[in-house]
Amino acid sequence: MNLEGVSEPRTRSPYRAEFRQQIVELACVGRTPAELSCEFGCSAQTIANWAAQAAVDRGKPLPGKDGLTTAEREELNRLRRENRQLKLEREILSKATAWFAARGDKTSTPSSSS
């Protein structure tokens, strides 16, 4: 179900976590992203991104590459999903309230006095 304004989640990386970790380790010992790209078939930019993210996760971001750790990024994504869901629920409740309020005049039952 695709709601307007809600994008489909991105697919997972086609590279296994172990593979990414091995590439990052090779980059940390001095291999360039371009060399690794030629040898392993993923783009140099992807490798540079992995290395930069690994540095942030270790608490030692590369110069000019400040950012969120993987855990912080996952939490931010979870909170954004939750926020979208809450906004949708609030909108539904608002419309339901308006609908019931409009029907209230037509369906009110006379009170019986004993």
Higher pLDDT pick, 3 / 85:
85
Tally of domains within the chain:
2
9 pLDDT above the threshold of 80: no
Establish if 33 belongs to a structural domain.
yes
Same domain, 63 and 23: yes
Same domain, 73 and 63: no
Same domain, 24 and 52: yes
Same domain, 82 and 95: yes
Q: Categorize the per-residue pLDDT at 7 as very low, low, confident or very high, splitting at 50, 70 and 90.
A: low
Same domain, 44 and 77: no
Establish if 8 belongs to a structural domain.
no
- Residue 34 CA to residue 26 CA, distance in Å, equals 12
DSSP character string of 75-103:
HHHHHHHHHHHHHHHHHHHHHHHHHHHHH
Q: What's the confidence (pLDDT) of residue 60?
A: 85
Establish if 42 belongs to a structural domain.
yes
Same domain, 55 and 81: no
pTM for the model: 0.58
Give me the domain span that covers residue 50: 13-67
Kindly calculate the radius of gyration of the chain based on its CA atoms and give it in whole angstroms: 26
Same domain, 36 and 58: yes
